[in-house]
């Protein structure tokens, strides 16, 4: 069976469209409404959903995503509950899911067991923020996580040799950071990101999606003009935060993301 991420990008290329990738923290603000949010993002046209696994020490995240993880943890979310959330989503929806996480929760679960359980539940990829691929390659315990596509990050400061290594070993898509720093800390994508995408494209055929700092339809359309996909995370999480106590949080989120998705697909 083909990976849903690969199938999605194949279909998008055939339609000459770009991917809209949405990030949310799994279990934010609670399990039931998180599931409703996943349904809403899929129904609104999101092509891929990144599902954050709540972690108590998310050092690469800005305050918006840190607070989302905290809300999810307080609502009772765990790595095992994330598996339950994926299973519940897969009962009705086929949108690709990429797990966005730190190594600690996966390692505590059992590296191979987590990959197998997540894939069996219906996940398609994983982005391990603090596990460099070069380190994984020399640790036998990390060689048994082949059940999911491993997504790699490439930053503006990534040296050329390392950038080539990451690009050549990439699966699914490459997450190109438009800026350095933590998530949610910037108001707009870097002006140099188009050049960065072009340089990566010279060394790989893997789709390149750009994230960090995209908050408006205009920015989404701009990035979609040179990348294969647009990633929106903190702006979506912030909207959930603003409506965390509203029973209609999913509908409020749909009103926010629809113009972003339409702008991405219109390019």
Q: Which two tokens stand for residue 25?
A: 């923290």
- Distance (Å, whole) CA 121 – CA 132: 25
Known catalytic membership, residue 61:
yes
Known catalytic membership, residue 14:
no
Q: What is the DSSP letter of 54?
A: P
Q: Which two tokens stand for residue 155?
A: 């930053």
User: Rounded to whole angstroms, what are the CA distances from 12 to 15, 48, 72, 118, 147?
Assistant: 5, 12, 32, 25, 24
The catalytic position among 61, 117, 124, 228 is 61
The catalytic position among 6, 28, 47, 50 is 50
> Can you give the length of the chain in residues?
267
- Distance (Å, whole) CA 14 – CA 7: 11
- Whether 106 and 114 have beta carbons less than 8 Å apart is answered as yes
For residue 205, count other CB atoms closer than 10 A to its CB.
8
Catalytic residues: 50, 61
């Amino acid at each position: 069976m083909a990976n849903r991420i690969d199938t999605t990008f194949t279909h998008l290329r055939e339609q000459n469209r770009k991917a809209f990738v949405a990030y949310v923290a799994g279990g934010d603000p609670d399990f039931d409404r998180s599931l409703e949010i996943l349904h809403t993002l899929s129904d609104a046209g999101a092509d891929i959903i990144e599902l954050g696994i709540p972690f108590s020490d998310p050092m690469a995240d800005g305050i918006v995503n840190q607070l989302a993880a905290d809300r999810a943890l307080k609502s009772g979310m765990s790595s095992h509950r994330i598996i339950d959330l994926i299973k519940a989503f897969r009962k009705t929806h086929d949108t690709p899911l990429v797990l966005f996480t730190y190594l600690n929760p996966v390692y505590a679960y059992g590296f191979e067991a987590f990959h197998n359980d997540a894939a069996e539940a219906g996940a398609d990829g994983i982005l391990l923020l603090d596990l460099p691929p070069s380190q994984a390659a020399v640790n036998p315990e990390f060689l048994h996580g082949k059940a999911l596509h491993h997504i790699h990050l490439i930053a503006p400061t990534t040296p050329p040799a390392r950038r080539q290594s990451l690009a050549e070993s990439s699966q699914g898509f490459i997450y190109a950071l438009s800026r350095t720093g933590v998530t949610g800390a910037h108001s707009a994508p870097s002006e140099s990101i188009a050049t960065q995408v072009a340089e990566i494209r010279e060394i790989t055929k893997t789709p390149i999606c750009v994230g960090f700092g995209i908050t408006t339809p205009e920015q989404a359309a701009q990035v979609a003009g040179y990348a294969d996909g647009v990633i929106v995370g903190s702006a979506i999480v912030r909207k959930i935060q603003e409506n965390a106590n509203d029973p209609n949080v999913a509908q409020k989120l749909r009103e926010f993301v629809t113009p972003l998705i339409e702008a991405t697909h219109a390019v």
